């Protein structure tokens, strides 16, 4: 399958980050402490362990290995992993600053590298400590990484991964205030020497085929919630896939993430029964252009790190992950959890949302109802021309969701032959209905989705998506809402215009949360207010409920000019 040949263009994403000081990962987004310190003082106190240099790469050998990987449908590498053992005790230089604070630096040099990134087998930072990674010329920085990035505690250590920094001369810097007594544990297992690079130009990323359609073109107007669920995956610093957050019947906003099984790292034998630790996986959110053109990226892409593999099935090609760092904690990002349909019905034609060739988020429009492929585990899908192009899929799109016209997942991308040079070529998606119960060959707990997505055993055939409102948000356009909406205790949702709740979706307002209907009509609503929740209707607003409405005890209801039906 062509989709198994992953891209060599991860740098498209990271190169953009370089121009914005690489503030992509879940971090404090601040400058390294040393940038405000006398450089001469630091240089004067460096020791013999301050600089470590990686071996030159044997490119002839690497190119031979890459050709062999292609023959066996292995994803191509962009970087070579040097196995190392560097930590705060055996490498680098410690400095004591004039105010009593401490600073540690390690200079890592990869000859002729285009980028460098790090994988940590042990990572723990005490409250107040800060880790930075930056190029020696200070053009590219990431951090600070803090105790919020810890995956375990000091007695039960786990790993971590930091993103790419361009160039071959990179500095790691750890800062520890004088009042902190617990020492950090930062142990580097791999230095990844990037030897492939694709340069971004001022006109944007645009590394996928010219037929592709940006998610914020007109074709994506009705998919603005669903796009929030889709993320690009960086697997062990070596390859790229796509996947999506997915909803559960408990509506508990658990960070469960659906992708393709072949996106897992076979060389590490990653499997739900044997090796579930996906510490070195990174997930990039909001990686998209603000409009239909490739002229800029907004909002700034952000990332989370780490996951645990819950279930996977090679035959239907799905993998379900639990994300270690919850994207709901990313500032200025509103997560969405996709709804699904396990009935086995293809539904009316919808769309695919994906990251072809590691490019910014794209949308492809299904030409006709998906049909069952020769193997009944899969859907066969073709794409059609739309206003702004003829979206298909490409390498890197693997694992992305196939959505019906009523905005529900019915499969994840396995592979296919479509491209901008083969517009009519079909693609294959693993059927969600088969993944739900597993295959005849593999159907135990770790090979199926139902145990994880319907832990309440509700037995529903279909589930709406889930939109979380953790802050102030306004819906000002007329639209059909294909999702449950949860307004948290810190959230406020103002609905303006005429909006209709589709399917069995409902609005849940937690205590402290606020729902405001400001004119227009909210129809087919199933409204659930918790104690302490607020509902306000103004300017002739109307709520038309499906089941009628009874004011709950403890809810605050203020109808100034409007009504509830």
The 10s digit of each residue's pLDDT in 29-65 is 899 999 998 878 788 888 888 999 999 999 999 999 8
Residue 374 has pLDDT above 60, yes or no: yes
pLDDT at 297: 59
Residue 524 has pLDDT above 50, yes or no: yes
Mean pLDDT value across residues 535-561: 90
Domains of the chain, CATH where assigned: 2-194 (2.60.120.290), 218-453 (2.40.10.10), 467-564 (no CATH)
- pTM, full prediction: 0.85
The 10s digit of each residue's pLDDT in 76-122 is 467 899 999 999 999 999 999 999 999 999 999 999 998 898 999 99
Structure tokens at 180: 């902190």
* Distance from C-alpha of 117 to C-alpha of 195, rounded to nearest angstrom: 12
pLDDT at 198: 35
* Distance from C-alpha of 372 to C-alpha of 380, rounded to nearest angstrom: 6
* Distance from C-alpha of 160 to C-alpha of 188, rounded to nearest angstrom: 9
Kindly report the average pLDDT of the chain as a whole number. 88
* Distance from C-alpha of 432 to C-alpha of 341, rounded to nearest angstrom: 7
CA angle 529, 530, 535 (to 5 degrees): 40
For residue 375, what are the contacts with CB-CB under 8 A and spacing of at least 6? Answer: none
| Strand 527-529 versus strand 507-509 pairing type | parallel
Structure tokens at 506: 């409902």
H helix runs in 237-376, sequence order: none
pLDDT at 75: 52
Query: 157 and 85 in contact (C-beta within 8 Å)?
Result: no
* Distance from C-alpha of 312 to C-alpha of 316, rounded to nearest angstrom: 9
What number of other Cβ atoms are within 10 A of residue 152's Cβ? 14
CA 278 to chain centre: 14
The H or E element spanning position 59 is helix 59-71
> What Å distances lie between residue 282 and 26, 75, 237, 308, CA to CA?
10, 17, 8, 12
pLDDT at 357: 78
Residue 73 has pLDDT above 50, yes or no: yes
Least confident of 103-112, 281-290, 386-395: 281-290
For residue 200, what are the contacts with CB-CB under 8 A and spacing of at least 6? Answer: 11, 12, 15, 16, 19
pLDDT band at residue 429, thresholds of 50, 70 and 90? very high
Q: Is 62 left (phi over 0), alpha (psi -120 to 50) or beta?
A: alpha
Check residues 163 and 523 and name the one with the higher pLDDT: 523
* Distance from C-alpha of 380 to C-alpha of 397, rounded to nearest angstrom: 15
Count CA atoms closer than 13 A to 58's CA, side-chain side: 5
* Distance from C-alpha of 19 to C-alpha of 248, rounded to nearest angstrom: 38
Residue 317 has pLDDT above 50, yes or no: yes
């Amino acid at each position: 399958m062509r989709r198994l040949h992953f891209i060599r263009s991860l740098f498209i994403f990271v190169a953009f980050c370089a121009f914005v000081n690489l503030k992509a990962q879940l971090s404090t987004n601040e400058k390294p402490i040393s940038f405000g310190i006398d450089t001469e003082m630091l240089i004067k106190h460096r020791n013999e362990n301050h600089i470590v240099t990686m071996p030159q790469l044997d490119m002839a050998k690497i190119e031979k290995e890459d050709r062999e990987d292609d023959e066996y449908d292995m994803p191509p590498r962009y970087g070579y992993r040097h196995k190392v053992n560097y930590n705060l005790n055996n490498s680098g230089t410690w400095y004591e600053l004039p105010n009593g604070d401490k600073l540690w630096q390690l200079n890592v040099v990869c000859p002729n590298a285009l980028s460098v990134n790090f994988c940590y087998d042990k990572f723990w930072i005490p409250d107040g400590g800060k880790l930075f990674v930056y190029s020696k010329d200070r053009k590219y920085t990431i951090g600070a990484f803090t105790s919020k990035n810890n995956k375990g505690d000091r007695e039960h250590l786990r790993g971590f991964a930091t993103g790419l920094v361009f160039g071959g001369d990179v500095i790691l810097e750890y800062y520890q205030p004088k009042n902190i007594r617990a020492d950090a544990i930062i142990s580097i297992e791999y230095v990844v020497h990037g030897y492939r690079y694709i340069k971004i130009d001022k006109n944007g990323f645009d590394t996928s085929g010219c037929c592709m359609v940006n998610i914020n073109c007109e074709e994506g107007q009705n998919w603005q919630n669903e796009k929030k669920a889709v993320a690009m995956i960086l697997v062990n610093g070596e390859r790229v896939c796509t996947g999506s957050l997915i909803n559960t019947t408990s509506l508990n906003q658990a960070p469960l993430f659906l992708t393709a099984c072949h996106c897992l790292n076979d060389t590490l034998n990653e499997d739900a029964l044997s090796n579930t630790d996906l510490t070195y996986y990174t997930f990039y959110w909001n990686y998209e252009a603000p409009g239909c053109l490739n002229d800029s990226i907004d909002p700034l892409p952000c990332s989370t790190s780490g996951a645990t593999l819950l279930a996977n099935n090679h035959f239907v090609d799905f993998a379900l992950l639990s994300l270690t760092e919850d994207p709901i904690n990313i500032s200025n990002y509103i997560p969405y959890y996709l709804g699904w349909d396990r009935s086995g019905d293809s539904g009316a034609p919808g769309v695919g949302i994906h990251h072809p060739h590691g490019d910014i988020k794209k949308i492809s429009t299904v030409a006709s109802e998906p049909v069952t492929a020769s193997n009944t585990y899969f859907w066969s899908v073709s794409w059609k021309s739309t206003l702004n192009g003829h979206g298909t899929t490409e390498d890197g799109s693997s694992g992305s969701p196939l959505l019906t016209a009523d905005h529900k997942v019915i499969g994840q991308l396995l592979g296919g032959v479509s491209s901008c040079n083969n517009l009519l070529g079909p693609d294959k998606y693993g059927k969600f209905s088969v993944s739900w119960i597993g295959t005849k060959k593999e159907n135990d707990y770790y090979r199926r989705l139902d145990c994880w997505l319907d832990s309440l055993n509700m037995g529903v055939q279909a589930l709406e998506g889930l939109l979380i409102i953790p802050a102030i948000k306004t819906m000002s356009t007329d639209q059909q809402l294909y999702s449950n909406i949860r307004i948290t205790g810190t959230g406020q949702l103002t609905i303006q215009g005429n909006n209709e709740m589709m399917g069995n979706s409902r609005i849940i307002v937690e205590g402290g949360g606020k729902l405001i209907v400001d004119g227009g009509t909210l129809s087919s609503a199933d409204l659930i207010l918790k104690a302490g929740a607020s509902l306000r209707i103004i300017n002739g607003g109307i709520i038309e409920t499906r089941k009628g409405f009874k004011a709950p005890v403890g809810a605050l209801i203020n109808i100034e000019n409007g009504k509830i039906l």
